[in-house]
A and B are shown apart, each in its own frame.
Chain A
Amino acid sequence: MLMKSTQREEKAATQTNDTPAEVVLDCHAEQIFYGDFLAVRDSKVPIQKNKITGFIGPSGCGKSTVLKSINRMNDLVRTFRFEGKVQFHGIDIYDKKVDPVSVRRNIGMVFQQPNPFSMSIYENVAFGLRLNRFRGNMDEKVEKALRGAALWDEVKNKLKNNGLSLSGGQQQRLCIARAIATEPQVLLMDEPCSALDPIATRQVEELMIQLKQRFTVAIVTHNMQQAQRVADQTAFFAVDISQGGRTGYLVEMGPTSELFNNPKEQLTKDYLHGEFS
């Protein structure tokens, strides 16, 4: 394990949006490359504890790339190269001594497409626990995770059914249950609602707000209303085409209401008003 899990529930209750929160994950992406292609530059995104941080911006602005760099998912891409730092409890997760596998066990991820494994609902949730060689009451942990993902009541009588038999929204909540079962400290969500219908989207959004009591959440969304509904902090990314390439970068970041009502940058203003090519 990279880190011992800390008591985060206690602090969460006392924090409000006004007090500056502890930064649990300080992501500073100086340059991110795919091969020779510079995908992202100069983006500093501090992620605060027990808050939801939203990443918004037009397509191709690198918001997903930055998110996936935070738990080293991009290592799966052969040509990927990250320059910069991601400080997690004072440790740079891109340090050579850090094992990306343990990074991913501490920083969970929910993907754009629901991707449960082709195994029972129970085994899907137990997967991460078994991976961590959890010896204890598995049933209890699975139930807790499924309750945490607001799925328990719908599946408690069919835990043996295949996870893929559920509806899209249920599958996504199953993936959330699978991700939170091991109690990761940070949960990354890459457009988790883009494949879901409006009702399922609303359920997942309500779930996110509950989840921030126990976890720190970072979410990429193309839906600005969604960012306004769920995010405490919002980071706005844009594409820089001036150098001939299509390089994404962070334009500004701040508390959601401030960013939406009183953006500092003209670019943000234009984007929020739909005056963006």
Chain B
Amino acid sequence: MAHPTTTLPQEAASLSQPPSKMDIIFNKSFRSLTYAFTWAMVLLLAAIVIKIGIKAIPAIERHGLAFLTTTTWDVNSQHFGILPEIWGTLYSSLLALILGGFFGITIAIFLTQDFLPHRVEVVLKSIIELLAAIPSVVYGLWGIFVLIPLIRPLADFLHTHLGWLPWFSTSLSGPGMFPAALVLSIMILPTIAAISQDAFRAIPHKTKEAAFGMGTTRWEAILKVMLPAASGGIFGALVLGLGRALGETMALAMLVGNSNQISLSVFAPANTLASLLALNFPEAAEYEVSVLMYAACILLLITLLVNIAGTAIIAMTGSGAKK
């Protein structure tokens, strides 16, 4: 008995068929797999936070909030306070953000606003991105053996002539806030430069045309039109850079001086949370581990708050543009 569908050509016949069982199984399992991996990431993050939190409980119970506001770190007398480290973390990161942000954004402008032939732009872009490939410990060594001797004359000059300013009130003792922040700024520079470049490249060509059509000079176009248009992306770049600076460990542990003091002077040695953790864990006794976990929680909280604030501000400015 001839069924009408059998007379259809081969291609048309396959159109009228539902997906095969294999297709359905493959689709479903692939989808479940991606779900599983996504949730695994979320669970992993939660597990890390919970584990650190649990380990920190004894220290949290014993020291409470005084841990955040006192300045001594003495294992023998069991006095622990991390205010200098919180200060050092924020101060070094902000200094690095100012330096790295300034140079990162200017580099992004230089590499996107037709100052150079396209090929040179691409080469320079890759070289700057290579800065991110240099291991942290190499930056630390370079800081100790090259950067500190290099900046010493400048530091001495600033201290002798502008020593009355709180920022230059001490002489450079070797490792300290300034070399640490300088290296940190170089480390966050590729991130800021790359994301800011993307922000500038994302501006439609017609916006640039409009600016030039109005009779702007190149700098007026950049400062009055391009920079505001890219501001959302640039801000995101700065937040990511700050996030990286806050958590950076090895180079800072080598350069910051690891001294528990709070000083506005950029030449004074200081300490950061991350280098405190890195340097104290190897020799920590059981209770000290709990104290360090508490410090880790605080570091985590700071980076988390920075990232949340950054995301929120980007969302606000982003939706402002569409309103």
Contact = CB atoms under 8 A, between A and B. Distances in A.
Interface string B213-239: 111110010001100110000000000
Interface string B69-112: 00000000000000000000000000000000000000000000
Contacts of A78: 114
Given A76-B209, A111-B213, A131 B323 contact: no
Contact of B217 (A101, A111, A113, A118): A101
B215 A73 contact: no
Contacts of A115: 204, 206-207, 209-210
A109 B320 contact: no
B206 A128 contact: no
Nearest to A73: B213
B322 A164 contact: yes
Given A119-B228, A164-B321, A131 B214 contact: yes
A117 interface: yes
A111 B322 contact: no
Interface string B303-323: 000000000000000001111
A175 B215 contact: no
A117 B216 contact: no
A108 interface: yes
B215 A131 contact: yes
Contacts of A105: 214-215
A71 interface: yes
Interface in B189-217: 204, 206-217
27 contacts: A71-B213, A73-B213, A76-B212, A78-B114, A101-B215, A104-B212, A104-B215, A105-B214, A108-B214, A111-B213, A115-B206, A115-B207, A115-B210, A116-B210, A117-B207, A117-B211, A118-B229, A127-B224, A128-B215, A131-B216, A131-B220, A162-B321, A162-B322, A162-B323, A165-B322, A165-B323, A179-B214
Interface of A: 71, 73, 76, 78, 101-106, 108-109, 111, 113, 115-119, 127-128, 131, 161-162, 164-165, 175, 178-179, 182
Interface of B: 114, 204, 206-217, 220, 224-225, 228-229, 320-323
Give the top 4 A-B pairs by smallest Cβ distance, nearest first: A105-B215, A104-B215, A115-B206, A109-B213
